[in-house]
Amino acid sequence: MMFETLRQRVRDKSARIAIVGLGYVGLPVACSFARAGFRVVGIRRDARKVALINSGISPIEGNEPGLAELLAAVVKEGRLRASTEYGECRAADVILVAVETPVDAATKEPDYRALQTALRFIGRNLKTGGMVIVESTLSPGTMKRIVQPTLQEASGLRAGEDFLLATCPERVMPGKLLANIRSCSRVIGGTTAEAGEIARDLYRHVVDADLDVTDCLTAELVKTTENAYRDVQIAFANEVALLCQSLGADVWRVRELVNKSPGRQMHLPGTGVGGHCIPKDPWLLVAGAGDDFVARLICAARAVNDGMPYAVAALARKALSLDGLDVRGARVAVLGYAYLEDSDDDRNSPSAPLVHQLQAWGAEVSVHDPYVKRYISDITAAVAGQDLLVFAVAHRQYRELDLDMIRRLVRRPTIVDARAVLDEQQVRARGFRYLRLGSGCVSIEEGASI
Ligand code: SAJ
């Protein structure tokens, strides 16, 4: 009976919700629950961002359809408010945790500092009969080993008896933050059956897709596995690309024909794997494994993907050498710095190590990107006088480039294309030397290559 009041408040939307962490996960969630009719307070340490949100302005940059408008509306209606104070949790029936859970760059171990700080503050402000749901991505076993003990210690309460505890890993995708909350199925891990049921009742207000209730460990495994799975798929495409390149074959043609085989879905090779999810979640997955488990494939996939920027740099050095140029002193323009096409998000972008490697070899590197603020410039200025253009990201603007104009502006007509951005025939017809990642440029006469 302890949680009947909570269950009723969740069902009739009178429950007060607090969301700790108002970033690209927490903010759309806060707006979604506010739109559904709940009163929501978002907690974020950054007072400037809090002030922005309370004035109805979204601090999230980039193209997020509907988010800015929804935020303005729910703030205006008084349904969403932001604060820097954890004390706001005291009035909350449900507290969602959406703080970052990165991995240490060197050790690849989970960095839970933000999570543990949040849990300690939440624990001190957690009321009996309330509920905590963790949306942050967690290494398998974290709910049991860290989240539950930290909350119990900070609150003096017992999970399952005095408060309910669950995890519902986020499934947001930059560029589709709001839409995904509504359309993506979610896994809910409950420390008790009651926690899973009430969490499902809560998310039913904002999610149209399946809500699959299970245990915490399974929920933690699903989230980290789904991203490790994608990372391995991408690594396979990248390894086959390097294989094809060494053979003088064309991976893009190979991939096209492989994917005609039933049940195949070979991914796209490229400059590497960036973003805030895929590069880190495989490490969270293996970090939670037992001592008797040795991760081989998952770690190998990470190594393949992390190696791609250097493979592209090597291709650039080869292109220059074919022109009789040493990479030292060569003028190279890297086109694309976001981690994903038509995005301004450059978190963990593969273009960064690519640029650093070329600079380490002594190239004079310039960077252009139509979305990443510090690299926005006129494309004609970006290519003028360059010895080599390296297409690192498949931004739409690059696919639509006037190649005749480019040809007139460059110092040498040489292109390395890491994302199959350009049409090979079109480029060659204009007299460019064109090297595409994963393609040994085999012409119709077998064996002819660069
Ligand atoms: N990438 C490739 N080849 C591919 C696909 C992606 O090189 O075939 C690269 C991208 O260029 C990028 C990185 O991998 O650098 C990640 O790309 P992504 O499409 O996976 O985009 P993310 O990082 O936004 O991934 C998110 C994930 N969603 C969540 O974690 C909730 C992922 O699970 C989704 O599959 C993905 O969005 C999506 O499909 O949009």
Which atom of ligand 1 is nearest the CA belonging to 272? 7
Question: Taking CB atoms and a 6 Å cutoff, what residues make up the pocket around ligand 1?
Answer: 171-174, 226-227, 230, 234, 267-268, 270, 273-275, 277-278, 339-340
CA of 50 to the centre of ligand 1 (A): 29
Quick one: how far is CA 177 from the chain centroid?
Answer: 11
To test the ligand 1 pocket, which listed residue (207, 265, 267, 273) has its Cβ within 8 A of the most ligand atoms?
A: 273
- The owner of tokens 């990443």 is 372
Q: Are 110 and 284 in contact (CB under 8 A)?
A: yes
Q: What is the H or E stretch that residue 251 is in? A: helix 251-258
What the block records as the tokens of 82 is 């932001």
Among protein residues, the one whose CA lies closest to atom 7 of ligand 1 = 270
Q: Using CA atoms, how far apart are residues 143 and 104, in angstroms rounded to an integer?
A: 19
CA–CA distances in Å: residue 260 to residues 241, 257, 264, 366, 436: 18, 5, 7, 39, 22
> Residue 308 C-alpha to ligand 1 middle, in angstroms?
16
Q: What ligand 1 atom has the least distance to the C-alpha of 348?
A: 15
E-assigned strand segments in 155-224 = 164-167, 186-190, 211-215
User: Which residue among the candidates 223, 280, 318, 441 is catalytic per the annotation?
Assistant: 223
Residue 292 clears pLDDT 70, i.e. is over it: yes
289 by Cβ neighbours in 10 Å (0-12 / 13-18 / 19+) ranks as: middle
pLDDT in tens, 358-416: 999 999 999 999 999 999 999 999 999 999 999 999 999 999 999 999 999 999 999 99
What is the distance in A from the centroid of ligand 1 to the CA of 267?
11
Helices then strands, counting H and E runs in the chain, come out as 18, 13
The whole-number pLDDT of residue 441 equals 58
Tell me the average pLDDT across 316-330. 96
This prediction's pTM: 0.94
pLDDT on residue 173:
85
* pLDDT tens column, 218-256: 999 999 999 999 999 999 999 999 999 999 999 999 999
Identify whether 244 is a catalytic site residue. Answer: no
223 noted as active-site residue: yes
The per-residue DSSP string of 264-316 comes to -------S---SSSTTTHHHHHHHTS-TT----HHHHHHHHHHHHHHHHHHHH
For 27-55, what is each residue's pLDDT tens digit? 999 999 999 999 999 999 999 999 999 99
The pLDDT of residue 446 is 41
